[in-house]
Structure 1
Amino acid sequence: MNREQISGLAHVDHPIKAPLDDDAVRQLLTHGLPRGDGRALDLGCGTGEWLLRALTAHPRLRAEGVDVSEDALRQAREEAGRRGVGDRLAVHRQKAEEFRSPHSFDLVLSVGAAHAFGGLLPTLAAAREHLAPGGRVLIGDGFWEHEPSQEAVEMLGDFADLATTLDLVVADGWTPVHGHVSTRRELDAYEWACWGSLASWALDHPGDPDSPQVLETATARRTEWLRAYRDTWGFVSLVLRRTRP
């Protein structure tokens, strides 16, 4: 089973692929989405859950999603049809950093996908290319709550602390107009959902040749979370506006 398939199984019970509960997602979208008509773009949309919720809540919104996974985009199209918003969603299979559009967007999202661009600031640079005047960016990324071990850094990446992360964003020409720091409950719920979903699938399919690999992955990831980064890693989501053109 490849990485994409394992990720799909892991997120069955947590379609927002980030440590955020439903209320946090709703609040972030409320502060990020335009009033009335407008366009939203998700760079690295996966199965499109952010856009699907935005389209359901805002009946005049139009949205586009970009991702490299054809299976994830297929799920996004199917779920958009089930929710009655398929006529307002367009999805594109390509690398998010290579996506180009003839029009700009009032909201550009990229939550938990900064690795695809090479970090937080490159992600903001990519979002800026698509942003309409006066538009907003909704971005989510990790930070270190406490000094991490070398193992945690090698596992997750070289993040800064929360204050430094905000300093970097502001110095890059952005002003936060809303933010959310994931709570311990949200962080733990996300990890339990991911690795629990994987383990459950493996136990429910004992005869599947992939079952041992999936169970081993669930056990290994749960152990890494508990022993390497649970007490040091955090997640921040920001709604940003340009401080200067």
Structure 2
Amino acid sequence: MDRAQIFDIAHLRHPIAAPVGPEQLRHLVGWLSPPTGGRAVDLGCGEGEWLQELLLIQPGMTGVGIDHMLPASAVDRAAQRGLGDRVRWAEADAATWSDGRFDVVLCVGASHAFGRLPDMLAAVRTHLRPGGQALVGDTIWEDSPSASALAALEASPEDFPDLAGFVQATREHGFEPSYGHTSTLAEWDDYEFSWTGSLVDWALREAPTTEDRDQALAAARVHRDAWLGGWRRQLGFATLVLHDVATAPS
């Protein structure tokens, strides 16, 4: 099993693919106010939940979901929700894909596709029309990281900002945050237990071979141990609604 397969299975029970609850996702998306008939793009869309929720509350919009490996479940859910003719999926590298400017750019939990946080914010700006809005989410430190957290994540303290640093980075790229959310411990626990639990359930009920079963269980155990013994209560996640003020019409 490769990493992409494990990732897809791990998000079967939590297609939001970030430590954010469904109600909070809808609340965040509700802060966006695109024009009627506007276009949205989700860079690194994964299961496509953020884009689909936006289209559900903005019936005049169309959208594009970009990911290097799109799960079939994203396409299936869009069809079940009656969004099949309003969303287009592109299996491509979000860092190099281009199709003009959009009224809304979404990029949640996908900064790794571009490099680091500044690279992700630069990419968002590239795809955003002047005066548009963005919804971005990324990892932050809740507190000064411990040695165990850094070891579990194979990270350094400089790899992630704190909340103030995240907000400052968005402003340095010409954005002004209008709303934000920091994931709660309950949201994190639900996400991580769903991540590991989906792998365990699949391994014990659906794995086609003993090798697949053992690999899925091993991935769940390694991830669970790193979370509980490493980054729990230290790694955070922030989602920000941004306005483009650098190129906004006067």
After superposition, residues 4-153 of structure 1 pair within 5 angstroms as: 4-70=4-70, 72=71, 74-101=72-99, 103-153=100-150
Matches of residues 180-219 of structure 1 in structure 2 within 5 Å? 180-205=181-206, 208-209=209-210, 210-219=212-221
1:168 deviation in Å?
2.2
| Matched residue SS, 2:122 | helix
Query: What is the Cα deviation at residue 242 of structure 1?
Result: 2.0
The separation in 1 between residues aligned to 2:229 and 2:78, in whole angstroms, is 39
RMSD of the TM alignment (CA)?
1.7
Which segment drifts farther, 106-115 or 193-202?
193-202
- AA aligned to 1:229 is W
Q: TM-score, normalised by structure 1?
A: 0.93
Instruction: State the TM-score, normalized to the length of structure 2.
Output: 0.91
Q: Which amino acid aligns with 2:38?
A: G
The equivalent of 2:245 in structure 1 is 243
Letter matched to residue 79 of structure 1 = R
Cα contact 2:106–2:135 (8 A) shared by 1: yes
Superposed CA deviations along residues 108-162 of structure 1, whole A, max 9, x for unmatched, are 0010000111111111110111111221111000111111134533516411211
Conserved 8 A contact 2:179-2:240: yes
Q: CA deviation at 1:8?
A: 1.2
Q: More deviation in 15-24 or 78-87? A: 78-87
For 2:66 and 2:154, the matched residues in 1 are separated by 23
Q: Do the aligned partners of 1:33 and 1:106 also contact (CA within 8 Å) in 2? A: no
Question: Alignment partner for residue 233 of structure 1, among 235, 244, 247?
Answer: 235
Write the distance in 2 (CA, Å) between the matches of 1:82 and 1:165.
36
Flag the 1:149–1:26 CA change in 2: closer, same or farther, 3 A: same
Q: Which runs of 5+ in 1 are unaligned?
A: none
**Residues of 2 paired with 1:50 and 1:231: CA distance?**
25
